[in-house]
Amino acid sequence: MLNYRIALSSKSMLKNLPKNLLIGLGIVSVAAIANGLFSLEHDWHLLSTTTMMIGGTLLFVNVRKSFASDLEQPKVIDRSYLFKELQQAQKAIAKIADLSKRATLDEQAQQITSNLQKNHFRIVVFGTGSAGKTSVINALLGRKVGKTGAAIGTTIARQEYDYQGIAFSPVGITPIHSESKVKRQISLLDTSGTQEMGAVGQQRELEALQIAQNADLMIFVTAGDLTNSEYCELDRLAGLGKRVILAFNKTDLYLPSDREHILAKLQDRTQHFLAAMDIVAIAAQPSPIKVRQYANAEASERHDALQEWWEDVPPDVNPLKERIEEILSNEWEDLLIHNTHLQIKNLLQEINGTIHQERRQDASTIISRYQLVAATTVFANPIPAIDLLAGAAINTQMLIDLAKIYDRPLNFKQAQQFAMTIAQQLMQLGCVEIATSAIASFFKVNAITYAIGGSMQAVTAAYLTHIGGMSFVDYLEQQPESKSAISANPAMLKTLQQICQKTFTALQGDRFFVDFITSISSRVSTIATAK
């Protein structure tokens, strides 16, 4: 009977076990039975042991697969994902109140969307002033499109050109046309150089860096070994995930041995963020050579030239051209998606920063209004001691209005809980006594404010309302974006208490304290005079 009950109990427990675990246990059970029945026979003992090992292995494999299936799969960043991110950006832009800022950010979002839809690939040529950036552009395009010169600052603004005539087979994307080789929209952008002097030069450098950060592929041009500033800029851009080709230009000015030495040095200094194949030696605008024509061999020996002239040397940018086309053929889609994702992230950061700034301004306006309400209420009906609980109704409504700014629904009961938590925390910290004492000391040395009866209590009420409001704003900003209502659970209330303590400590600075008391006292005085 006991054995039967044990069997029933085991049966009920087995029903609750996962399928994979049951399979493993079944195999192990079979092996155990085999071991018991044939323990006297060596061969059968070996068989049962083997069966148990196989069962354990199968169990491990099945359980591992089960856990693996439960793990969250990494998100795939593709065009569909990017378009969804852009839609989220557009929704966030709609929350911005500043029409001018909203229009600017909306234009950026539309430009990113357009570039992604049109497969617009941007190659930015970047480098120090007069390193030969524009010459590289001219050589790649096969025509002269920009001014070149020895003086720093020849290129004073961004120039964009269509890069035509490149035929390649993109890997991993569907061709627009039926031909195996398709043409895509490619732009070459020339930027103003870095290391220019003065405020204008610094502004151009910032603009050039911003353009480089938005590039899908960047060509960094140098005329020799990297200077410290060049290395820092190159390292920073590579650290952002930029695909970079380092073009060692003006190689015609060096002897072959020196040219090889500089090339090797460039490879050594950039090996931790650039592949050797991404460093190419070019001569975008070689210096012209002098040609002498002699009448005969005797004249040549006497160096009596019949005619002399300077002859232009064609540019040598084939290594750069080949590397660009190779990257476009193999990495087009990956680079376009990666850099579009970076642009969207930067756009979202700017959008969120703008929304945060506007919310802060609106919250400050609301807090100022309610702290004045608290001050005038106490001034009209002075009480012996500031009772924060008595002002709970004012603070409750203030919290509801603040929550609306941050799109976080908050009902009256929840707001009341938060207001009571703030009041209790401020009393526990001794904020009432500290604030009252400090404000009283200020009033004693100020004849104008001292003459106003009830001002001390009024200013104290306003000051504590300000602390409570700012604490709640900080609390809202720490919560993740959500349309769901704020839950006044114990954990969140504890977080709010900690924020109150930090806010009170931060707002005890002398400058803020004096400015605040002066402002509130002035407004209360105006109200008192009007009455």
Please report the pLDDT score of residue 277 as a whole number. Answer: 94
Q: How confident is the model at residue 83 (pLDDT cuts 50, 70, 90)?
A: very high
**Alpha carbon distance 249, 245 (integer Å):** 12
Any bridge partners for residue 186, and if so which? 121
**Alpha carbon distance 486, 413 (integer Å):** 11
Closest CA to 222 of 292, 153, 133: 133
| Range from 73-77, 251-255, 416-420 that averages highest in pLDDT | 251-255
Four-point Cα dihedral 392, 398, 400, 406, nearest 10 = -140
Please report the pLDDT score of residue 437 as a whole number. Answer: 62
Please report the pLDDT score of residue 17 as a whole number. Answer: 44
Any bridge partners for residue 190, and if so which? 125, 159
Pick 288 or 361 by higher pLDDT: 361
Pick 147 or 457 by higher pLDDT: 457
- For residue range 183-193, list pLDDT tens digits in order: 468 889 888 76
- Say which range, 51-60, 99-108, 253-262, 300-309, has the weakest mean pLDDT: 51-60
In 13-128, the DSSP E strands lie at 121-127
Full-model pTM: 0.66
Average pLDDT over residues 137-152: 70
Long-range contacts formed by 144-153: CB under 8 A, 24+ apart? 146/190, 148/285, 152/193, 152/195, 152/196, 152/197, 153/129, 153/192, 153/193, 153/196, 153/201, 153/204
**Alpha carbon distance 148, 139 (integer Å):** 12
- For residue range 8-64, list pLDDT tens digits in order: 344 444 444 444 444 444 544 544 444 544 444 445 444 455 445 555 544 444 544
311, 288 contact by CB (below 8 A): yes
419, pLDDT greater than 90: no
In 10 A of CB 474, how many CB atoms? 16
Please report the pLDDT score of residue 9 as a whole number. Answer: 43
Looking at residue 241, what DSSP letter applies? Answer: T
- Sheet with 159-162, strands from edge to edge, namely 159-162, 186-190, 121-127, 217-222, 244-248, 279-281
Question: Token pair for residue 325?
Answer: 């086309």
SS3 180: coil
- Say which range, 105-119, 257-271, 348-362, 505-519, has the weakest mean pLDDT: 505-519
**Alpha carbon distance 36, 7 (integer Å):** 18
337, 83 contact by CB (below 8 A): no
pLDDT over 70 percentage in the chain: 60
Pick 23 or 344 by higher pLDDT: 344
Closest CA to 262 of 384, 75, 253: 253
SS3 197: coil
518, pLDDT greater than 50: yes
**Alpha carbon distance 10, 350 (integer Å):** 62
Q: Does the domain at residues 119-282 carry the CATH identifier 1.10.10.10?
A: no
Q: At what angle do helices 455-478 and 490-506 cross, to 10 degrees?
A: 130
Average pLDDT over residues 423-431: 75
Please report the pLDDT score of residue 490 as a whole number. Answer: 81
Average pLDDT over residues 320-338: 90
Average pLDDT over residues 483-496: 74
Q: Any residues with CB less than 8 A from the CB of 368 and at least 6 apart, and which? A: none
Q: How confident is the model at residue 287 (pLDDT cuts 50, 70, 90)?
A: confident
SS3 194: strand
97, pLDDT greater than 80: yes
**Alpha carbon distance 383, 392 (integer Å):** 15
Q: How confident is the model at residue 105 (pLDDT cuts 50, 70, 90)?
A: very high
150, pLDDT greater than 60: no
**Alpha carbon distance 130, 446 (integer Å):** 64
Domains of the chain, residue spans: 16-70, 119-282, 356-530
Q: Identity (one letter) of the amino acid at 29? A: S
Please report the pLDDT score of residue 115 as a whole number. Answer: 85
Please report the pLDDT score of residue 352 as a whole number. Answer: 93
Mean of pLDDT over the chain? 74
**Alpha carbon distance 123, 212 (integer Å):** 9
Pick 393 or 86 by higher pLDDT: 86
- Say which range, 2-16, 122-136, 158-172, 308-322, has the weakest mean pLDDT: 2-16
Average pLDDT over residues 228-237: 86
Q: b/e string for 408-442 if b means 16 or more Cβ within 10 A?
A: bebeeebbbbbbbbbbebbbebebbeebbebbeeb
State the sign of the Cα–Cα–Cα–Cα dihedral 398, 399, 402, 408.
negative
**Alpha carbon distance 500, 421 (integer Å):** 10
List helix spans (H) across 445-489.
Answer: 447-450, 455-478
Please report the pLDDT score of residue 151 as a whole number. Answer: 43
